[in-house]
Amino acid sequence: HARTMFKNVFGSGFLVRTAHVILTWVITLILFLHDTLRKQEETGQLVQPVLFVLLVLVSVLLYFAVSLMDPGFILSDDSDLQFTLGVTEEQQDMIPPSTKSLRQRRCGHCLLQQQPMRSKHCQTCQHCVRRYDHHCPWIENCVGEKNHRWFVLYLGVQLLVLLWGLHIATGFSFAPTWQLWLRTNATLLTVAVLVALLSLIVLLLLGSHLYLVSLNTTTWEFMSRHRISYLKHCGADENPFDRGTFHNLWGFFCLWGTVVWEQVYFREGSDQV
């Protein structure tokens, strides 16, 4: 585990993670040098500055947790025998003829003989990932079954940090002329524009993930359902994993452990027959 952690920290994503941390703390330092937080510190009003720094720290810790944790890598066939259990021959026969290959989903890259449903091989990570969502270059890791909820939580905390930072960054100093105003607030204005852009990106990411989670689908399934064996026979609005918005959100955020998606899939198929 220590060797894997060392490899993850100093692997291909080292520069991306370092740049993220540097940018985060440089922006935080600039905001602290701004009058609003500095005046609060000087007058002994430490609640807001301390809370802001703690929130930034939590966002950085969540970033590293999501980027370094196992997203749900499938390392061997032996560890995945449980995913072939609980599915009867009658249920297997319910699969339409066009998807008979579903029963033996084999990965041609890492040579898994039995690839669990909703998993996909990531060319970047060189592993199959359970309930694969996407490979995120921002964290240099896959988003899958084990870290997806933490990724969404990270986006939520990061959005709070950015919106709070944007509020601080828009407290520009007064100046009698535009030229003097620009000279006085140039650094803060640059930070405000950058934070506003990042806020918009994170907001769109968080919104899209919450929407997909509420439907119990993944980014990969949403974008490529016409190429996925267990979905391409379904109608445009049909999702065999959808259990209702409340149950989808509850299962995603509140239930821990591995889900045997084959059982969910076949149960839904049985209900439709």
The catalytic residues are 136
> H-type helices in 12-108, by residue range?
14-33, 35-42, 47-68, 89-93
- Helices 14-33/47-68 angle, 10° precision: 170
CA torsion, ordered 252, 255, 260, 261, to nearest 10 deg? -20
Other beta carbons within 10 angstroms of residue 112's beta carbon come to 20
CA torsion, ordered 184, 187, 189, 192, to nearest 10 deg? -140
Other beta carbons within 10 angstroms of residue 146's beta carbon come to 18
For CA atoms 149, 152, 11, 61, give the dihedral sign: negative
